[in-house]
Amino acid sequence: MALISIIEDFHPLNDARLLYRAEELKPSLHHEVVEPVGGFQLKERYSHEKEDIVLHKVPHLAMGKGQNLCLDFGSHQVGYLTLELSYTGSHPDAPAFLKLKFSEVLDELSENSEEYDGWISHSWIQEEYVHVDVLPASITLPRRYAFRYLKITMMDTSPKYKLIVKHAECLTETSANIRKFRFEPTGDELNDRIFKAGLRTLANCMQDVFEDGPKRDQRLWMGDLRLQALANYSTFRNMDLVKRCLYLFAGSRFPDGRISACLFTRPTVAADDTWMFDYALFFVIALEEYLQETNDIETLNDLYDIAMQQIETSLRMCGENHVVNREAAESTFIDWCESMDKTACAQAVLICALRYARRLARRKNDWSQANWLLQKLELLRDAAIAEFWDDERECFVSNGQSAIAAQVWMVLADVLEPEKARRLMERDSEFMTPYKMATPYMHHYYVMALCRTGLMDKAEKHMKEYWGSMLERGADTFWEAWDPDNPDASPYGGKVINSYCHAWSCTPVMMIRKYFNQKGVKNGL
């Protein structure tokens, strides 16, 4: 997730007590040393053509000016790189000048990052220039990288010597306890492969918070957190990490109390000046889901009022007709699809949030609030039908558009009777263009809508096709954005800036364990 919002003189409202509690919940990190499993050389500077190198010969490869060595660390890693460097020839009489390029997928290696001209900062591209003054040397880079491949280019040695990379290793870092995790084969090979890639995606995004992506942006986004938490409940069950993130979002908010779409944790915790209608409401949903798993009364008591405040803020953005206004629609994310009208989706997300808020109120024995929420829910549901259901086209239409996203979210909001919802999802192919689903984030909710209407086979088939097509393309972890029909697309104006291990894409682990491994079970959104 990445989005640009700028509010001048923005000072988040910080709650020291909640932030202190979040700090107490900071996880310890697990480490592992990973060495390369293979090596190759790219024939030209920005070429795709490669020449394989026998791994045990790599330590003897002498690199002169302009030469490169690509190391393959076997799968996607998040951690710190150490290189042991030596030389051959005369005593080095000038520093070794190296360029290190870390890449999550093979395609990135042959891209010229200087050509990237999209709207995301070029500074996310994982490239470093390093001078090594004394050889032999063991160098450990101070920054953390997300990568499978490492391309080492000798920018210059001197005519007197060549560089040798004797050893390379990555000290991985994650708060997921992978060693304790027990993988249970499903009997379906593709599902097992998808599960494993999803699990690695989740684990590599689990750091001292749930990061959206370990390459970029390396921080908490509310929409991503909600999906990570769901995947976590089906796998690592690190409840404290979810709790910590909920406290962080509650602990630093907009001055008027709204939950920010995203949080910074360094140098100190600070809400970003970005607010999104749907992301703020996911705080309510994620809190209730956390309580379903833990029944943690401390968290309910601490965060209940803040959750209700998000509902109230959103309800104030509805008109007299109980339909969300233009501002709400324009502040709603749903998917990377700029031309899509998001009014119907925003309405549906708010209805979902009201359902979850009502459950929270009942947990809290706050019956008057629960009743009030039920009234609101019914008003908004009726308004959704009145405003967005097109009897003729038999689908939801938002400002003339019948996008799949609108159908999906209205199904998830239970706006239709079950049989009508099922018939709508059976006809989903009618809504797939021109407002195509762009991200695994949207595909997740699409699969959930299929599950919710009982279309389990269709749901599983779609998961296998969509997430499976990333595996076919060489994914070790699932990607931030992916359109199998348009593999080179990027919402960020260039693939080199894409995140290829992205939290919101990890949910197949939950789908497989919760839905497709025990077909027919349909609980949860």
Closest CA to 163 of 78, 257, 75, 68: 68
Footprint of its own copies (CB under 8 A) = 2, 4-7, 10, 65, 89-91, 93-97, 119-124, 128-129, 131, 133-136, 143, 155-160, 216-217, 262, 264, 266-267, 270, 272-273
Non-local (6+) Cβ contacts of 498 within 8 A are 479, 480, 481, 490, 492
* Residue 418: C-alpha distances to residues 117, 382, 413, 449, 455 (Å): 47, 16, 11, 11, 11
Strands (E), 358-414: 389-390, 395-396
Instruction: For the CB of residue 249, give the shortest distance to its own copies in the complex, in Å.
Output: 15
Residue pointed to by tokens 């999104």: 276
Instruction: For the CB of residue 89, give the shortest distance to its own copies in the complex, in Å.
Output: 7
Rank residues 20 and 119 by Cβ distance to its own copies and give the closer one. 119
Task: For 147-181, give one letter per residue: b (16+ CB within 10 A) or e.
Answer: bbbbbbbbeebbeebbbbbeebbbebbbbbebeee
Rank residues 205 and 395 by Cβ distance to its own copies and give the closer one. 205
Instruction: For the CB of residue 514, give the shortest distance to its own copies in the complex, in Å.
Output: 33
User: Do the beta carbons of residue 246 and residue 15 sit within 8 Å?
Assistant: no
Rank residues 74 and 89 by Cβ distance to its own copies and give the closer one. 89
Instruction: For the CB of residue 460, give the shortest distance to its own copies in the complex, in Å.
Output: 37
Residue type, 160: K
Rank residues 161 and 277 by Cβ distance to its own copies and give the closer one. 161
Instruction: For the CB of residue 490, give the shortest distance to its own copies in the complex, in Å.
Output: 16
Rank residues 406 and 501 by Cβ distance to its own copies and give the closer one. 501
Instruction: For the CB of residue 445, give the shortest distance to its own copies in the complex, in Å.
Output: 25
> Sign of torsion, CA 333 335 340 343?
negative
Rank residues 17 and 131 by Cβ distance to its own copies and give the closer one. 131
Measured in degrees and rounded to the nearest 5, phi and psi for residue 89 equal: 105, -150
Non-local (6+) Cβ contacts of 361 within 8 A are 308, 367, 369, 370, 373
Give burial (CB, 10 Å; 0-12/13-18/19+) of 317.
Answer: middle
Give burial (CB, 10 Å; 0-12/13-18/19+) of 515.
Answer: buried
The secondary element (H helix, E strand) that includes residue 404 is: helix 404-412
Rank residues 116 and 195 by Cβ distance to its own copies and give the closer one. 116
Torsion of CA 467, 473, 474, 480, to 10 degrees: -50
User: Do the beta carbons of residue 173 and residue 78 sit within 8 Å?
Assistant: yes
Rank residues 26 and 461 by Cβ distance to its own copies and give the closer one. 26
The secondary element (H helix, E strand) that includes residue 510 is: helix 508-511
Rank residues 189 and 256 by Cβ distance to its own copies and give the closer one. 256
Instruction: For the CB of residue 22, give the shortest distance to its own copies in the complex, in Å.
Output: 17
Instruction: For the CB of residue 382, give the shortest distance to its own copies in the complex, in Å.
Output: 40
Instruction: For the CB of residue 287, give the shortest distance to its own copies in the complex, in Å.
Output: 24
Instruction: For the CB of residue 4, give the shortest distance to its own copies in the complex, in Å.
Output: 5
Rank residues 267 and 520 by Cβ distance to its own copies and give the closer one. 267
CA distance 470 to 458: 19
